[in-house]
């Protein structure tokens, strides 16, 4: 415990500032009014993000490297998701510029899926076994929601992202220190791992004999067999007054009433599973998918679609504990958002899938 905490504090000596290049770039046009993109951290771009994207071979490397010697999955549980056709997307989009529509018929083959978001403890097992170093650790910083930073850390940061001022670039924030350098994961082993880039997530899944889900697989799984419903459990956000996901209640970003019991992330499986036995498909942490981002989709019937062949951003699904309807109505199965693959933040995690029976 002491050692882990020490590791976090080593980085705390200097709280730095990231220059956010291109924060007003291509995303702005796609973003809905009143900063609706905000809690999705899609305004966040690393300095030189473009350069990174072009070094494609770099980010692909870890997956291969760590797939060797993979020896079964730690702790986690997968369920078989029986394949079939489903209606992907919606003709009644909550956030039209996100490309939630049109509603289109898609078939996915059977696959196994983690019932839960990958946890800190699971990621620790991976790192213990492989010595993997995440991109945020290499960069030396990551984005943390200001509402979960300590005053000490917050006071030393002078620059935020203009379009989303509640995101602060924090030196020393990474999966081991998710709320900033004076935090650590010792007390939250069963919370979703955060501050993992797309390549980090892929490396973990590969090590665990899996891969990231396609957006179609993820959405099929989210819907849990229900047709034309907003959420994994139906159309009412809080059936019988119960909370079914870790979201934001109150006035974002200033007041989080935590009516659902959690100000930040919750332990995985804290809310009811959907009909497929999957927990936290919406809320808690956003989840990376394998697909590149695009907002125009064919209406032709598709089988196992994998998204566009290339792009600059990856699709993430499900929303997070920071999502409130007023700013980020993205805790719906059809909703989607995007980040550059090298992004990392205090509300972004993942789960893995594996090939199903053939
Ligand atoms: C990782 O390694 C550390 C140090 O050997 C050990 O204390 C810890 O229990 C390991 N964690 C997991 C999840 O394997
Ligand atoms: Ca909450
Ligand atoms: Ca989630």
User: pLDDT value at position 163?
Assistant: 80
Do 39 and 211 contact (CB within 8 A), yes or no?
A: no
Query: Does a structural domain hold residue 336?
Result: yes
333: containing domain: 82-130+196-357
Neighbours of 245 (CB within 10 A): 26
Query: Does a structural domain hold residue 225?
Result: yes
Q: Is the pLDDT of residue 326 over 80?
A: yes
Q: Is the pLDDT of residue 304 over 90?
A: yes
Report the chain's C-alpha Rg in angstroms: 19
Residue from 341, 178, 148 nearest 258 by CA:
148
Residue from 125, 164, 117 nearest 144 by CA:
164
Q: Is 298 exposed, middle or buried, given 0-12, 13-18 or 19+ CB atoms closer than 10 A?
A: exposed
Q: Among 70-79, 162-171, 197-206, 210-219, where is mean pLDDT lowest?
A: 70-79
- CA dihedral of 187, 173, 148, 47, whole degrees rounded to 10: -160
User: pLDDT value at position 21?
Assistant: 30
Identify which of 118, 122, 123, 124 to mutate to test ligand 1's pocket (most ligand atoms within 8 A of the CB).
124
Q: Is the pLDDT of residue 343 over 90?
A: yes
Residue nearest to atom 6 of ligand 1 (CA): 128
Q: Is the pLDDT of residue 357 over 60?
A: yes
Query: Does a structural domain hold residue 8?
Result: no
144-171 burial code (b ≥16 CB/10 A, e <16) = bbbbbbeeebbebbeebbebbebbbbbb
Q: Is the pLDDT of residue 158 over 90?
A: no
Q: What number is the average pLDDT over the span 260-273?
A: 98
Q: What number is the average pLDDT over the span 79-92?
A: 97
Do 191 and 266 contact (CB within 8 A), yes or no?
A: yes
Hey, which residues does 192 pair with through a beta bridge?
Answer: 119
> Does the C-beta of 128 come closer than 6 Å to ligand 1?
yes
Tens of pLDDT, residue by residue over 225-251, are 999 999 999 999 999 999 999 999 999
Neighbours of 195 (CB within 10 A): 27
User: pLDDT value at position 1?
Assistant: 38
Do 125 and 75 contact (CB within 8 A), yes or no?
A: yes
The number of domains in the chain is 1
> Does the C-beta of 130 come closer than 6 Å to ligand 1?
no
Strands 286-292 and 348-349: parallel
pLDDT interval class at 47 (50, 70, 90): low
- Which atom of ligand 1 has the smallest separation from the CA of 127? 1
Residue nearest to atom 2 of ligand 1 (CA): 128
260 C-alpha to ligand 2 centroid (Å)? 5
- Helix or strand holding residue 91 (H, E): none
Q: Is the pLDDT of residue 322 over 80?
A: yes
pLDDT interval class at 213 (50, 70, 90): very high
- CA dihedral of 113, 312, 167, 163, whole degrees rounded to 10: -130
Query: Does a structural domain hold residue 53?
Result: no
Q: What number is the average pLDDT over the span 25-36?
A: 31
Tens of pLDDT, residue by residue over 311-321, are 999 999 999 99
User: pLDDT value at position 223?
Assistant: 98
Please state the pTM of the whole predicted model: 0.84
147 C-alpha to ligand 3 centroid (Å)? 19
281 C-alpha to ligand 3 centroid (Å)? 4
Query: Does a structural domain hold residue 186?
Result: no
Query: Does a structural domain hold residue 10?
Result: no
pLDDT interval class at 165 (50, 70, 90): confident
Count helices and strands (H / E) in the chain.
9, 14
User: pLDDT value at position 127?
Assistant: 98
- What percent of the chain lies above the pLDDT cut of 70? 78
Residues 6+ apart with CB under 8 A from 113: 78, 79, 81, 213, 217, 221, 276, 278, 351, 352, 353, 354
User: pLDDT value at position 164?
Assistant: 85
Domain with residue 262: its CATH number is 3.90.1580.10
Distance (Å, whole) CA 139 – CA 338: 20
Q: Hey, what are 331's tokens?
A: 């805790």
Average pLDDT score over the chain: 84
Q: What number is the average pLDDT over the span 296-323?
A: 98
251 C-alpha to ligand 2 centroid (Å)? 12
């Amino acid at each position: 415990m002491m050692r882990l905490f020490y590791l976090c504090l080593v980085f705390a000596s200097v709280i730095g500032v990231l220059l956010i290049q291109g924060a007003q770039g291509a995303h702005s046009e796609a973003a809905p009014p009143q900063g609706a993109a905000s809690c999705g951290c899609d305004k966040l771009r690393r300095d030189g993000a473009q350069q990174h994207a072009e070094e494609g071979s770099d980010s692909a490397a870890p997956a291969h490297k760590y797939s060797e010697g993979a020896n079964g999955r730690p702790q986690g549980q997968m369920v078989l998701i029986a394949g079939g056709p489903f209606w992907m997307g919606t003709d009644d989009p909550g956030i039209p510029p996100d490309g939630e529509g049109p509603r289109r018929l898609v078939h996915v083959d059977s696959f196994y899926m983690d019932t839960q978001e990958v946890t800190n403890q699971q990621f620790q097992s991976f790192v213990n076994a492989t010595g993997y170093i995440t991109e945020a650790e290499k960069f030396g910083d990551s984005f943390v929601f200001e509402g979960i930073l300590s005053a000490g850390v917050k006071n030393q940061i002078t620059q935020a992202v203009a379009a989303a001022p509640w995101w602060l670039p924090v030196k020393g924030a990474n999966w081991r220190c998710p709320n900033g350098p004076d935090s650590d994961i010792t007390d939250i082993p069963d919370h979703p791992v955060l501050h993992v880039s797309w390549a980090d997530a892929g490396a973990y899944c590969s090590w665990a004999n899996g891969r990231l889900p396609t957006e179609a697989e993820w959405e099929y799984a989210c819907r849990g067999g229900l047709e034309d419903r907003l959420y994994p459990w139906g159309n009412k956000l809080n059936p019988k007054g119960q909370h079914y996901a870790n979201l934001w209640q109150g006035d974002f970003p200033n007041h989080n009433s935590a009516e659902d019991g959690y100000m930040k992330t919750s332990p995985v499986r804290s809310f009811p599973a959907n009909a497929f036995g999957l927990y936290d498909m919406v809320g808690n942490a956003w989840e990376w998918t394998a697909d590149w981002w695009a907002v125009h989709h064919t209406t032709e019937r598709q089988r196992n679609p994998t998204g566009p062949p290339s792009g600059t951003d990856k699709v993430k699904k499900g929303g997070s504990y920071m999502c409130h309807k007023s700013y980020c109505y993205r805790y719906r199965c059809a909703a989607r958002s995007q980040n550059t693959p090298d992004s990392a933040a205090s509300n972004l995690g993942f789960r893995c899938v594996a090939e199903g029976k053939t």
